[in-house]
Amino acid sequence: MKAIEVKKGIYWVGAVDWSVRNFHGYTTNRGATYNAYLIIDEKITLIDTVKAPFAGELLARIRSVVDPEKIDYVVSNHVEMDHSGALPVIMKACPNAKVVTSAPSGIKGLTAHYGEYDYMPVKGGDTLSLGERSLAFVTTPMVHWPDNMVTYCPEEKILFSNDAFGQHYASNGRFDDQEPLDVVLQEAKKYYANIVMPYSKQAGGAVTACGGLDFEMICPSHGVIWRGHIKEILEAYGKWTSGATEEKALVVFDSMWHSTEQMALAVLEGFTQKGICAKLFDLKCCHNSDILTDVLDCTYIAVGSPTLNNQMLPTVASFLCYLKGLSPKNRKAFAFGSYGWGGQSIGLVEDELKACGFDICLDKIRIQYVPKEEQLLEITEKVKNL
Ligand code: FEO
């Protein structure tokens, strides 16, 4: 396995995980990559490692350029194991390397995971000379762990951005201009929605902190390297970090005997007649992480569940739990559902939507047993008039 030179003397030495389809609960239908970068200078530097099972692939790519023993610095931008998992293997192969990481959080996290190494703590604004090049460190705490930082090489105008600007996307093209832009941007959106969204304020601060930098290349730790479409990904991050929404509605439901499903279709029809983009997600076949990609920029969220054993359906509970954790702001929401006798689920769904901090824009809609045609028309009319 060979390294890929991304700029003279700078190599991608990461790993492509073609097979992964679930990344701690987030569906990765297009696989993933764990990117690491090798800088050949007077001081040879590795930026980040890879997930543990791919340590051999990382070492092989490094060896295609240089003997790992010659590595002077291993920069760890982020402790999470998809980037640090290969650190023990790498440190065995690079016994002379110092581990450059943020203080105190990076050192604390790496020590807890892997023990003691020759750590070199850095803080935001610190620089490190490699010879012809230098590295500047920008700490980006809580984007999305306390230890996160990004590393900038001013002589090359490259930002090593770790998770920021990343996408779970396996490919043999290493650059944005070698892959379909719409697909890569969609994966970047899914990544942002499922990983970064709760920390949008901090992410906005990080984007602003990097805003004064001059980029020719953004090298994230997942997916393709940005060089041809830097403007597009920065614009997208500007929108996502701002929390801006579009006139778009999501109708999310599960159903037992199609009554709540009929109500969901009537809600969808109301949004359609209102003239706004609306999407229907049946939780029996749609994954939470895909729905959250659309939550990122929607205005309305309608959630429906029948009552089962005095509760909402577990699929709906799972969606609402995941939604609340990712903490989207400024949404309008309402609950609906059919029931046989107790009918508690609809109130419980509404309570969860309130707990998300959403504005309840329509009283909960409850229908006993099977909805009649006129009841469905009434739902459509109510939603149309929102
Ligand atoms: Fe790609 Fe937060 O790890």
Per-residue pLDDT tens over the stretch 279-305:
999 999 999 999 999 999 999 999 999
Q: Which of 48, 73, 78, 179 is catalytic?
A: 78
Per-residue model confidence (pLDDT) at position 206: 81
CA 315 / ligand 1 centre spacing (Å): 26
CA-nearest residue, atom 3 of ligand 1:
80
Per-residue model confidence (pLDDT) at position 211: 73
Do residue 189 and residue 281 come from a single domain? no
Q: Which two tokens stand for residue 54?
A: 């791919």
Do residue 329 and residue 292 come from a single domain? yes
Share of the chain above pLDDT 70, in %: 100
Name the burial class of residue 301, with classes exposed (0-12), middle (13-18) and buried (19+) by CB atoms within 10 angstroms of its CB. buried
Average pLDDT over residues 116-127: 96
Question: Quick one: pLDDT band at residue 136, thresholds 50, 70, 90?
Answer: very high
Give yes or no for residue 116 having a pLDDT over 80.
yes
Per-residue model confidence (pLDDT) at position 379: 98
> What is the phi-psi region of residue 272: left when phi exceeds 0, alpha when psi lies from -120 to 50, beta otherwise?
alpha
Do residue 42 and residue 104 come from a single domain? yes
C-alpha pair distances (Å), 17 with each of 52, 73, 166, 259, 280? 12, 25, 14, 42, 31
Q: Among this protein's residues, is 24 annotated catalytic?
A: yes
CA 163 / ligand 1 centre spacing (Å): 5
Beta partners for 99? Answer: 74, 119
Q: Among this protein's residues, is 82 annotated catalytic?
A: yes
Residue 87: give its domain's CATH number: 3.60.15.10
Q: Among this protein's residues, is 168 annotated catalytic?
A: no
Distance (Å, whole) CA 376 – CA 262: 8
Residues lining ligand 1, CB < 6 A?
A: 78, 80, 82-83, 144, 163, 221-222
Domain-ending residue, one of 242, 267, 298: 242
Q: Among this protein's residues, is 222 annotated catalytic?
A: yes
pTM tops 0.85: yes
Domain-ending residue, one of 221, 242, 263: 242
Per-residue model confidence (pLDDT) at position 207: 82
CA 196 / ligand 1 centre spacing (Å): 10
CA 81 / ligand 1 centre spacing (Å): 7
Question: Quick one: pLDDT band at residue 209, thresholds 50, 70, 90?
Answer: confident
Distance (Å, whole) CA 302 – CA 274: 15
Phi, psi at 127, each rounded to 5°: -130, 160
Beta partners for 332? Answer: 300, 359
Per-residue model confidence (pLDDT) at position 297: 97
Do residue 39 and residue 99 come from a single domain? yes
Q: Which two tokens stand for residue 82?
A: 């998809």
Do residue 256 and residue 367 come from a single domain? yes
Residues 6 or more apart whose CB falls under 8 angstroms from that of 9 comprise: 39, 40, 41
**What is the per-residue pLDDT across 30-53, written as a single tens digit (0 to 9) for each?**
999 999 999 999 999 999 999 999
Per-residue model confidence (pLDDT) at position 47: 98
Type and span of the H or E element at 6: strand 4-7
Q: Among this protein's residues, is 48 annotated catalytic?
A: no
Do residue 278 and residue 346 come from a single domain? yes
Give yes or no for residue 144 having a pLDDT over 80.
yes
CA-nearest residue, atom 2 of ligand 1:
80
Do residue 255 and residue 231 come from a single domain? no
CA 184 / ligand 1 centre spacing (Å): 18
Per-residue model confidence (pLDDT) at position 215: 87
Per-residue model confidence (pLDDT) at position 114: 98
DSSP state of 41: S
Domain-ending residue, one of 242, 257, 289: 242
- Three-state SS string over 217-259 comes to EEEECCCCEECCCHHHHHHHHHHHHHCCCCCEEEEEECCCCCH
Q: Among this protein's residues, is 163 annotated catalytic?
A: yes
Distance (Å, whole) CA 325 – CA 144: 13
Average pLDDT over residues 219-233: 96
Tell me how many domains the chain contains.
2
Q: Which two tokens stand for residue 269?
A: 């029809």
**What is the per-residue pLDDT across 317-368, written as a single tens digit (0 to 9) for each?**
999 999 999 999 999 999 999 999 999 999 999 999 999 999 999 999 999 9
Average pLDDT over residues 132-150: 94
Per-residue model confidence (pLDDT) at position 376: 98
Per-residue model confidence (pLDDT) at position 214: 84
Which segments within 314-363 are labelled E, that is strand? 332-339, 359-360
**What is the per-residue pLDDT across 168-189, written as a single tens digit (0 to 9) for each?**
999 999 999 999 999 999 999 9
Q: Which of 163, 179, 261, 269 is catalytic?
A: 163
Type and span of the H or E element at 102: strand 98-102
CB 38, CB 4: distance < 8 Å: no
Phi, psi at 97, each rounded to 5°: -80, 145
Do residue 116 and residue 27 come from a single domain? yes
CB 87, CB 75: distance < 8 Å: no
Do residue 234 and residue 251 come from a single domain? no
Distance (Å, whole) CA 84 – CA 208: 26
Distance (Å, whole) CA 367 – CA 369: 6
Count the Cβ atoms, other than its own, within 10 Å of residue 331: 20
**What is the per-residue pLDDT across 244-284, written as a single tens digit (0 to 9) for each?**
999 999 999 999 999 999 999 999 999 999 999 999 999 99
Sheet order of strands, 10-12 included: 4-7, 10-12, 37-39, 44-47, 71-76, 98-102, 119-122
Residue 268: give its domain's CATH number: 3.40.50.360
Do residue 191 and residue 278 come from a single domain? no
CA 318 / ligand 1 centre spacing (Å): 23
Pick the atom of ligand 1 nearest to 222's CA: 1
Per-residue model confidence (pLDDT) at position 182: 98
> What is the phi-psi region of residue 133: left when phi exceeds 0, alpha when psi lies from -120 to 50, beta otherwise?
beta
Do residue 250 and residue 162 come from a single domain? no
Do residue 127 and residue 272 come from a single domain? no
Per-residue model confidence (pLDDT) at position 165: 96
Range(s) of the domain holding residue 364:
246-384
Q: Which of 82, 156, 179, 352 is catalytic?
A: 82
Q: Which of 24, 182, 373, 374 is catalytic?
A: 24
Q: What is the mean pLDDT of the chain?
A: 96
Residues 6 or more apart whose CB falls under 8 angstroms from that of 321 comprise: none
